[in-house]
């Protein structure tokens, strides 16, 4: 599920911890301001293929998919792997702030 959304899975807890610290620092510097948008403002639903993952620009729908996937992965992993679960929660906050 994580790979299908184009998200990175940290192979070790140390890499996950580095990712958490980096995201938290990035959020501290950038801030958490965001502009909420309604689902009707998103492009129509479409299936994402591997070829679309290689494009440089991401659609709002694709970004929303990554936010939702990060949240789901964080919730699922927190019960068994706290570090990686928190890594995905940090990614969710970061991706959500980028989806403007």
pLDDT at 71: 84
Q: In this model, does residue 90 exceed pLDDT 60?
A: yes
pLDDT at 100: 54
Helix, strand, coil percent values for the chain (each to nearest 5):
60, 0, 40
Say which residues have a Cβ less than 8 Å from residue 95's Cβ, sequence separation at least 6.
63, 66, 67, 70
Q: In this model, does residue 94 exceed pLDDT 50?
A: yes
pLDDT at 40: 64
The H-assigned helical ranges of the chain are 13-30, 50-53, 60-78, 82-98
Provide the terminal-to-terminal Cα distance of the chain, rounded to the nearest Å. Answer: 24
For the stretch 6-65, pLDDT in tens is: 788 889 999 999 999 998 898 888 876 766 666 666 554 444 444 344 434 567 777 778
């Amino acid at each position: 599920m994580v790979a299908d959304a184009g998200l990175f899975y940290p192979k070790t807890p140390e890499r996950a911890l580095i990712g958490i610290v980096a995201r938290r620092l990035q959020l501290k510097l950038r801030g958490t301001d965001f502009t909420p948008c309604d689902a009707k403002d998103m492009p129509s639903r479409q299936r994402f293929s591997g070829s679309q993952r290689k494009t440089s620009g991401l659609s709002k729908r694709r970004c929303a998919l990554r936010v939702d996937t990060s949240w789901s992965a964080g919730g699922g992993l927190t019960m068994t792997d706290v570090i990686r679960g928190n890594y995905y929660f940090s990614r969710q906050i970061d991706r959500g702030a980028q989806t403007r």
